[in-house]
Amino acid sequence: MTDQALPAAARPRPAWFSLVASPISVIAAVCLGLIIIVSLLAPWLAPHDPVQLVPANRLKPASAAYLLGTDGYGRDVLSRILYGGRISLLIGVGSAIISIGFGLAIGLVAGFFRWLDAIVMRFMDALMAIPSILLAIAVVALSGASLSSVLIAITLPEIPRVVRLVRAVVLSAREEPYVEAAISVGSSLPKILWRHIMPNTFAPLIVQGTYICAAAILTEAILSFLGAGINPETPSWGNIMAEGRAYFQVKPSLIFWPGLVLSVAILSINLLGDAARDVLDPRMKRREGAR
Amino acid sequence: MLGYIIRRILAAVPVMGCVAVFVFLLLRLTPGDPAAIIAGDSATPEQLERIRATLGLNEPIYVQFATWVGRLLHGDLGVSLISQIPVAQMIGQRLEPSLTLAISTILLSVVVAVPLGVLAAWKQGTWIDRVVMAFCVLGFSVPVFVVGYVLIQVFAIDLKWVPVQGFRSITRGFGPFFERAVLPTVALSFIYIALIARMTRASMLEVLGEDYVRTARAKGLGETKVLLRHALRNAAVPVVTVIGTGFTLLISGVVVTESVFNIPGIGRLTVDAVLARDFPVIQGMILLTSGLYVAVNLLIDLSYTLFDPRIRY
pLDDT at A191 over 90: no
Interchain CB contact of A39 with B (< 8 Å): no
Buried-exposed string A261-281: b where 16+ CB fall within 10 A, e elsewhere = bbbbbbbbbbbbbbbbbbbbe
Task: Give the relative orientation of helices B87-122 and B127-141 as an angle to the nearest 10 degrees.
Answer: 160
The reply to whether residue B199 touches residue A133, judged by beta carbons under 8 angstroms, is no
Residue B20 sits in which domain range?
2-73
Q: Is residue B85 part of a domain?
A: no
Asked which of A10-14, A85-89, A205-209, B114-118 is least confident by mean pLDDT, the reply is A10-14
> How many Å from the N-terminal Cα to the C-terminal Cα in chain A?
19
User: How many distinct structural domains can be found in chain B?
Assistant: 2
In the prediction, which pLDDT does B60 show?
79
In the prediction, which pLDDT does A142 show?
78
Chain A residues 262-291 with a CB less than 8 Å from chain B: 262-263, 266-267, 270-271, 274, 285-290
pLDDT at A93 over 90: yes
Q: Which of chain B's residues have a Cβ under 8 Å away from the Cβ of A289?
A: 195-196, 198-203, 238-239, 242
pLDDT at A290 over 60: no
Q: Which of chain A's residues have a Cβ under 8 Å away from the Cβ of B135?
A: none
In the prediction, which pLDDT does B104 show?
92
Q: Is residue B312 part of a domain?
A: no
Mean pLDDT value across residues B215-241: 83
Type of residue at B11: A
Among B16, B137, B154, B193, the strongest candidate for a mutation testing the A interface, having the largest count of A CBs within 10 A, is B137
In the prediction, which pLDDT does A286 show?
44
Confidence band for A282, pLDDT divided at 50, 70 and 90: low
Q: Which of chain B's residues have a Cβ under 8 Å away from the Cβ of A122?
A: 14-15, 18
Q: Which of chain A's residues have a Cβ under 8 Å away from the Cβ of B235?
A: none
In the prediction, which pLDDT does A51 show?
74
The reply to whether residue B141 touches residue A255, judged by beta carbons under 8 angstroms, is no
Q: Is residue B270 part of a domain?
A: yes
* Residues B24 and B158 occupy one common structural domain: no
Whole-model pTM: value is: 0.84
Mean pLDDT value across residues B17-46: 76
Among the partner-chain residues B137, B149, B242, the one whose CB lies closest to the CB of A271 is B137
Backbone angles phi, psi at A106, to 5 degrees: -65, -45
Number of CB pairs, chain A paired with chain B, less than 8 A apart: 175
* Residues B111 and B60 occupy one common structural domain: no
B163 three-state secondary structure: coil
The reply to whether residue A130 touches residue B286, judged by beta carbons under 8 angstroms, is yes
Mean pLDDT value across residues B171-198: 86
pLDDT at A138 over 60: yes
**How far is the C-alpha of A209 from the C-alpha of A100, rounded, in Å?**
7
In the prediction, which pLDDT does B31 show?
64
Buried-exposed string A50-73: b where 16+ CB fall within 10 A, e elsewhere = beeeeeebeebeeeeebebbbbbe
* Residues A166, A85 contacting (CB under 8 angstroms): no
* Residues B6 and B148 occupy one common structural domain: no
In the prediction, which pLDDT does B79 show?
83
Mean pLDDT value across residues A189-205: 87
pLDDT at B72 over 90: no
Q: Which of chain A's residues have a Cβ under 8 Å away from the Cβ of B252?
A: 131-134, 222
Buried-exposed string A155-175: b where 16+ CB fall within 10 A, e elsewhere = bbbbbbbbbbbbbebbeebbe
The reply to whether residue A135 touches residue B286, judged by beta carbons under 8 angstroms, is yes
pLDDT at B186 over 90: yes
pLDDT at A11 over 70: no
Q: Is residue B82 part of a domain?
A: no
The CA distances from residue B195 to A250, A289, B138, in Å, are 34, 6, 11
The reply to whether residue A129 touches residue B294, judged by beta carbons under 8 angstroms, is yes
Q: Is residue B80 part of a domain?
A: no
* Residues A158, A215 contacting (CB under 8 angstroms): yes
Interchain CB contact of A132 with B (< 8 Å): yes
* Residues B51 and B171 occupy one common structural domain: no
The reply to whether residue B275 touches residue A133, judged by beta carbons under 8 angstroms, is no
The reply to whether residue B149 touches residue A252, judged by beta carbons under 8 angstroms, is yes
* Residues B191 and B301 occupy one common structural domain: yes
In DSSP terms, which residues pair with A76 in a beta bridge? Answer: A70
Domain boundaries, chain A: 86-284
For chain B, give the percent of residues with pLDDT over 90. 12
Chain A residues 190-229 with a CB less than 8 Å from chain B: 214, 218, 221-222, 225-228
In the prediction, which pLDDT does A4 show?
46
Backbone angles phi, psi at A78, to 5 degrees: -60, -45
pLDDT at A104 over 90: yes
Q: Is residue B81 part of a domain?
A: no
Average pLDDT, chain A: 82
**How far is the C-alpha of A78 from the C-alpha of A261, rounded, in Å?**
11
Q: Which of chain A's residues have a Cβ under 8 Å away from the Cβ of B293?
A: 129-131
* Residues B175 and B303 occupy one common structural domain: yes
In the prediction, which pLDDT does A128 show?
86
Chain A residues 57-116 with a CB less than 8 Å from chain B: none
In the prediction, which pLDDT does A229 show?
82
In the prediction, which pLDDT does B257 show?
92
Closest-CA distance, A109 to chain B, in angstroms, reads: 20
Max CA-CA distance within chain A?
Answer: 76
B17 three-state secondary structure: helix
Among B25, B270, B283, the strongest candidate for a mutation testing the A interface, having the largest count of A CBs within 10 A, is B270
Asked which of A280-289, B24-33, B302-311 is least confident by mean pLDDT, the reply is A280-289
Among the partner-chain residues A122, A142, A249, the one whose CB lies closest to the CB of B30 is A142
The reply to whether residue B196 touches residue A248, judged by beta carbons under 8 angstroms, is no
CA B6 to centroid of chain Cα atoms: 24
pLDDT at A273 over 50: yes
ipTM of this predicted structure: 0.81
In the prediction, which pLDDT does B313 show?
61
| Fold that domain A86-284 belongs to in CATH | MetI-like fold (1.10.3720)
Asked which of A26-30, A104-108, A168-172, A229-233 is least confident by mean pLDDT, the reply is A229-233
In the prediction, which pLDDT does B49 show?
80
Q: Is residue B90 part of a domain?
A: no
Quick: pLDDT tens for A211-270: 999 999 999 998 888 888 888 788 888 888 888 887 877 788 888 888 899 999 999 998
Interchain CB contact of A41 with B (< 8 Å): no
Alpha helices in chain B (DSSP H): 2-29, 34-39, 45-55, 61-73, 87-122, 127-141, 144-151, 174-208, 211-218, 223-225, 233-245, 247-260, 266-275, 279-307
Interchain CB contact of A142 with B (< 8 Å): yes
**How far is the C-alpha of B148 from the C-alpha of B53, rounded, in Å?**
42
**How far is the C-alpha of A133 from the C-alpha of A135, rounded, in Å?**
5
The reply to whether residue A131 touches residue B138, judged by beta carbons under 8 angstroms, is no
pLDDT at B274 over 90: no
Q: Is residue B297 part of a domain?
A: yes
